[in-house]
Amino acid sequence: MRAFTYRETEYRSLAECCKSLKISYQKVRRFCRHYVRANRNPALAVSWCLGEAKLSPFEPKSFKYEQDLERGQDRQERFLERKRQELMENF
């Protein structure tokens, strides 16, 4: 990821920023992946994670958001099917 500035401090990476601010890297990364404005400006994702800025429910989402939703639903269906199969075998 590219370098960005947050609170007048320049960070070389998102991981470096999250480590110094002691926030979840995965959560900030997910914001950057799912929202268009956060993808362009990672400092916005950091401020959302810290609660400094409000995340609007009308924030435009990227196409990766839809892909991740579909993958999550597929994983859930596979898990439920596997558990049903185990239940039938053990019954």
In the predicted structure, residue 1 carries a pLDDT above the cut 70: no
Q: Under 8 Å CB-to-CB from 12, ≥6 apart: which residues?
A: 3
Q: Which of 32-36, 51-55, 61-65, 77-81 has the highest mean pLDDT?
A: 77-81
Q: Under 8 Å CB-to-CB from 55, ≥6 apart: which residues?
A: 31, 35, 48
Q: Calculate the average pLDDT of the chain.
A: 91
Number of compact structural domains in the chain: 1
Which strand (E) or helix (H) includes residue 9?
A: strand 9-11
Range of the domain at 38: 4-90
**CB of 42 closer than 8 Å to CB of 7:** no
Give the global pTM. Answer: 0.76
